Structure 1
């Protein structure tokens, strides 16, 4: 990574977590103490028969724990009506609008705090702590308005819910999911090459992908695909029935080195 790896809360060396070796052969990950401290949520989830019921359990738990309102789980009416308490949904929507926004910086800050991975890009490439982009990232992620409602604790639960849903309802017994991303260039992310079309890419600490190849074909001059460890998925829109923006089947993938395939979009 362009910056030194930091400590994490997942019980593995950060260097290994960020490596292509981990991407190829992942082991189970959990954020320390989250499931133990939120046992009632996972008791509710154990009663769910499908994603709709699991999503409802998550929504009710987040509403009770963080004082959220039902509308917040479906849309963020910015500038209209009374202000809401800050929620993980607002961050996810903000990320979708701009992955270098203040909302996005908070998400990257959570990854740095929990997984030890500093961002490689935030509005511009980051190569050292003296870069202006690093200062912008720190300013954005530390905004006091974002941390007034235990936002990192909300994201901890989002991650653990997604891991539960993948392992229990969606892909039990599986370790990887093929993801796609449209891009205009990947050369500055190449660590080494397995062959002409298969580089090992060093992804940003958090990156958007999709499970739908057709969506990726619409963005950029090339399509990057990776076999993503399920354990490095923070968010998948298909796993939250209450989330309003699911058409692009977006997945937020935690960074590191990934063997990838680079192809032209399908005609």
Structure 2
């Protein structure tokens, strides 16, 4: 345990990693506060500007829902109607020169979540991290490898993948905005009413993806999480992903998606939560 945190015997100042920076956000919360440990200790509600105001019909439907499955069905129906991403509303296009019918599936938030479940450092993961960067103003610290500066090859790879035309049709960021607002509505009304934090777990084998900012004691540290990270509510599941278990008190307002939000999606078996990053107090232990 003496060496649980990387560089435990080094001067703390030398352990600080480069921070790429922060951009503006659509939340109306100063960036310095949003990513700071104090926000995560004492959080406030977060809402993406204009999303609820521009979609009053959705939230009127949700208000009439009796439980989470009912609300999830209402949300799914709304998304299908708004973005035409179900099978009946696929776009058909004639192939140039051949006249053959080519079916083009519209980009959807479900496809991104599925891709994240397979590999959070794949192209779908880059798009999701790009959405966090766009809406929350938090840059990723890891995508396939540590991102230390904007001029690096790691940053270039991330930008190329996050801008992939495969995923940027059909207002994909708007879809993700609605998913976040629905998630926050469900947590506030049905899943965790009155709660400010959730206890979540993450299993890791190395500390590469998340930067240790300060070692508080042998088990506790201040860690800068990637701008979007996966956690689980079940410690036993976390043990399947690494021999070191991170335990974090995550603000409810920083949960972008959770495993029971929708009745059908590929992350259900792992009890997964997608969490917006920043500086978190983290407790580490061996399983």
- The TM-score normalised by the length of structure 2 is 0.86
- Unpaired stretches in structure 2, ≥5 consecutive residues: 1-17, 90-101
The answer to whether the 8 Å contact 1:112/1:205 transfers is yes
1:82 Cα deviation from its structure 2 partner: 4.5
Higher deviation after alignment, 243-252 or 22-31: 243-252
Cα RMSD (Å) of the superposition? 1.6
Equivalent position of 1:61 in the other structure: 78
The answer to whether the 8 Å contact 1:233/1:252 transfers is yes
Assess, with a 3 A threshold, how the Cα gap between structure 1 residues 127 and 69 changes in structure 2: closer, same or farther. Answer: same
Equivalent position of 1:171 in the other structure: 192
The answer to whether the 8 Å contact 2:117/2:266 transfers is no
Take 1:181 and 1:70, find their aligned partners in 2: how far apart are those partners?
Answer: 35
- Unpaired stretches in structure 1, ≥5 consecutive residues: 73-80
Assess, with a 3 A threshold, how the Cα gap between structure 1 residues 71 and 189 changes in structure 2: closer, same or farther. Answer: farther
- Give runs of aligned pairs for residues 63-212 of structure 1, distance below 5 A: 63-69=80-86, 82-186=103-207, 189-212=211-234
Does the residue aligned with 2:142 lie in a helix, a strand or coil? coil
Does the residue aligned with 2:250 lie in a helix, a strand or coil? strand
Equivalent position of 1:250 in the other structure: 272
Equivalent position of 1:77 in the other structure: none
1:245 Cα deviation from its structure 2 partner: 3.5
Assess, with a 3 A threshold, how the Cα gap between structure 1 residues 70 and 178 changes in structure 2: closer, same or farther. Answer: farther
1:70 Cα deviation from its structure 2 partner: 6.0
- Give runs of aligned pairs for residues 12-51 of structure 1, distance below 5 A: 12-51=29-68
Does the residue aligned with 1:239 lie in a helix, a strand or coil? coil
Take 1:16 and 1:183, find their aligned partners in 2: how far apart are those partners?
Answer: 27
Assess, with a 3 A threshold, how the Cα gap between structure 1 residues 19 and 244 changes in structure 2: closer, same or farther. Answer: same
1:100 Cα deviation from its structure 2 partner: 1.1
Equivalent position of 1:213 in the other structure: 235
1:37 Cα deviation from its structure 2 partner: 0.2
Take 2:69 and 2:82, find their aligned partners in 1: how far apart are those partners?
Answer: 20
1:234 Cα deviation from its structure 2 partner: 0.7
1:83 Cα deviation from its structure 2 partner: 3.9
Take 1:70 and 1:58, find their aligned partners in 2: how far apart are those partners?
Answer: 17
Q: Deviations over 1:17-66 (max 9, x none)?
A: 00110000001110000000001000000011111101000000000100
